[in-house]
Structure 1
């Protein structure tokens, strides 16, 4: 099966590094394929008792700058690859990945697996599980 529009979700963690490595290897076999690496950062609000407190602007800015730095490293790795691009998105990672894949007609999504145990994944959820449940696009989860 050949893929022409591959999307990789990246967050700088080891599972996403492995996912990026796999995607780069794949596009070497499909040189006409487009490869897009997205980094989704989220600015979460903090719940305190019965109130929701916004994260301070300084912390939001730090998260944004960290995301930009992560993508600069990815862009350096993608430099020799034709048809490669990056995108920086804000929001819920799972939702942003599914939405991006749908809007850009990706035909493969590659994500890293966090490796949560069954109980922790049940309580916290996982991005890969969310994407699996909400997309029609083939999904490759890298361990």
Structure 2
């Protein structure tokens, strides 16, 4: 990851793997993607011909509550559906 040293990257990947394992995501379905979030998600979805992208939304107010900047970036760049999930703080 640009801007992250190898120890930070290893720590992030370890946390990602632990979370995926906790929720029973098979290893072959775990993808640790690097880069600017919106671009990385859009590129990954296009390359893998995704049918749907499930994204969490950060807590915001107004129109931003429904579509954050990352979600908006992905929404405008993928030919598949996006399912935005609001966290408990957003409800």
* TM-score w.r.t. length of structure 1: 0.48
Q: Which structure dedicates a bigger proportion of its chain to helix?
A: 2
Name the structure 1 match of 2:19. 74
SS at match of 1:131: helix
Q: Which structure dedicates a bigger proportion of its chain to strand?
A: 1
* TM-score w.r.t. length of structure 2: 0.71
What pairs with 1:1-143 in structure 2 (closer than 5 Å)? 42-43=1-2, 55=3, 59-79=4-24, 85-118=29-62, 126-143=69-86
Which has more radius of gyration? Answer: 1
Q: How many residues align?
A: 83
8 Å contact 1:110–1:139 — kept in the other structure?
yes
8 Å contact 1:78–1:84 — kept in the other structure?
no
What CA RMSD, in Å, does the superposition of the two structures yield over aligned residues? 2.6
Moved over 3 A (4+): 81-84
